[in-house]
Amino acid sequence: MPGGAHPGDDLQAEDVGQVQVEQHQVGVELGFGMRRFGLPVLPLIVGVILGPRAELQGRRSLQLSGGDLSGLLGGPVSYTIYAVILVLLAWPLIKRLRRG
């Protein structure tokens, strides 16, 4: 490959810094937009902090299971976590249906 052994090897340090600045700017604009429309910003902050870690752990578990999704979907711990997520997502709908 011209420029390097792997794609992206010819990127300069300034290019990487520019991408990080642009990502930061998008995050700031998204946060301001969320505040403008009365949406909570805390979930965005938590997602930005925990998202890369969750993705890394998901990749590791797929590598350990040889790419088989049963490593993510099977077992009592994952069933419990999925049930809790389902209840948390359905809770506002349940409250709304109870009111009226």
Total structural domains in the chain? 2
Bigger pLDDT: 89 or 100? 89
Question: What distance, in Å, lies between the first and last C-alpha atoms of the chain?
Answer: 64
| CB proximity list for 4: less than 8 A, separation 6 or greater | 10
Do residue 76 and residue 93 come from a single domain?
yes
Tens digit of pLDDT for each residue in 46-84?
888 888 898 999 899 889 888 888 777 778 888 899 999
Neighbour-count burial for 59-95, b at 16+ CB within 10 Å, e otherwise: eeeeeeeeeeeebeeeeeeeeeeeeeeeeeeeeeeee
Measured CA to CA, the distance from residue 6 to residue 14 in angstroms comes to 19
User: Which pLDDT does position 53 carry in this prediction?
Assistant: 92
CA 92 – CA 73 distance, rounded (Å):
25
Q: What's the predicted TM-score (pTM) here? A: 0.49
pLDDT value at 35 more than 90: no
Average pLDDT, the chain: 79
Residue with tokens 């359905």: 90
**Residue 41 pLDDT level (bands cut at 50, 70, 90):** confident
Range of the domain at 86: 70-100
| 19/58 same-domain check | yes
| 96 and 64 belong to one structural domain | no
pLDDT at 9: 55
Same domain membership, residue 45 and residue 20: yes
- Measured in whole angstroms, the distance separating CA 19 from the mean position of its chain's CA atoms is 18
